[in-house]
Amino acid sequence: MTVKTNFIDVEEPGVAVITGASSGIGQSFARILSSQGFDLVITARRKNRLEALASELKQKDGITVEIMTGDLSQPEFMDQVASYIETIENLDVLVNNAGFGTLENYISKESNISAFMTMLNLHCGAIVRLMHAGLKVMRKNERGVIFNISSIASLTLHGSREPMYHATKAFVSAFTEMVQLKLNFIKSKVKLKSICPGNTHTEIFGPAAIATPGRFGGPMSPEEVVNIALNSYKNKDIIVITGDHNIDEVMEWREAAYNKPGRYFSKEFTKSGLYKKL
């Protein structure tokens, strides 16, 4: 195989596993990693999309592509993908990306619980399961990176937003950070990143959805998000907010939340100004 330039600067790029590769950010990861010479394992429910992508990338980049089709919110499919990951001796990249948004309202009397349980299983369960499998191989090789696709939603908990989406993404960022800190503690070379995009032009609200600019800017293209994620490999950041306008949004929200008495600390504590010293 021809040696190509790749974001981890290795002579022989290994395998990248990408969940939710049938559209949006996952598909961009697949295209960009394929162009850098990584062999791929791609998963999603829409088999026809995965097959079309696989044949395009095999032909264009001369890589191998394995397809795994299934619903990753289901424990059986999580186990199947995790068991396969454990057999990939040269696993270099795992992208836990599959996810979705919902217009259901958790506190509405009419809301259906199934969308929320699916989201909990997919956004949290699948990441816990697959990251565990990926780490087994990567720790053995002392090489590799896991990108968990979170969101700026993990850092901005607004009352106007959907609680389950924000809370599951908050789990993704917190869990990624805790596991990375544990890896740092044992001086492991394996890297974890919680990638936090803001509004990105994908199919998240349907194949025909058009992302509109927000107050702070955007929407970004999925390619921009992926390039920021890959560039972050070379730095020590664990929580990677994609784009300055998204950082501005997070900062404004944090400032407002921390200045609101009763939100983060007791009223007395907040009033004393002690929280500012933390």
Binding site for ligand NAP (CB under 6 A): 20-26, 44-46, 49, 71-73, 97-100, 122, 149, 151, 197, 199-200, 202-204
**Closest separation in Å from C-beta 275 to ligand NAP:** 28
The structure tokens listed for 163 are 């609680």
Nearer to ligand NAP, 218 or 270 (CB): 218
**Closest separation in Å from C-beta 130 to ligand NAP:** 11
Q: Quick check: helix, strand or coil at residue 197?
A: coil
**Closest separation in Å from C-beta 151 to ligand NAP:** 4
Nearer to ligand NAP, 69 or 141 (CB): 69
Q: Beta partners for 15?
A: 39, 91
**Closest separation in Å from C-beta 25 to ligand NAP:** 4
Contacts (Cβ under 8 Å, ≥6 apart) of 207? 23
Nearer to ligand NAP, 37 or 197 (CB): 197
One DSSP character per residue, 113-149 reads: HHHHHHHIIIIIIHHHHHHHHHHHHHHHHT--EEEEE
Nearer to ligand NAP, 205 or 269 (CB): 205
**Closest separation in Å from C-beta 119 to ligand NAP:** 9
Interatomic CA distance for residues 268 and 250, integer angstroms: 26
Q: Quick check: helix, strand or coil at residue 21?
A: coil
Q: Can you tell me which residue has the tokens 């829409």?
A: 46
Nearer to ligand NAP, 66 or 139 (CB): 66
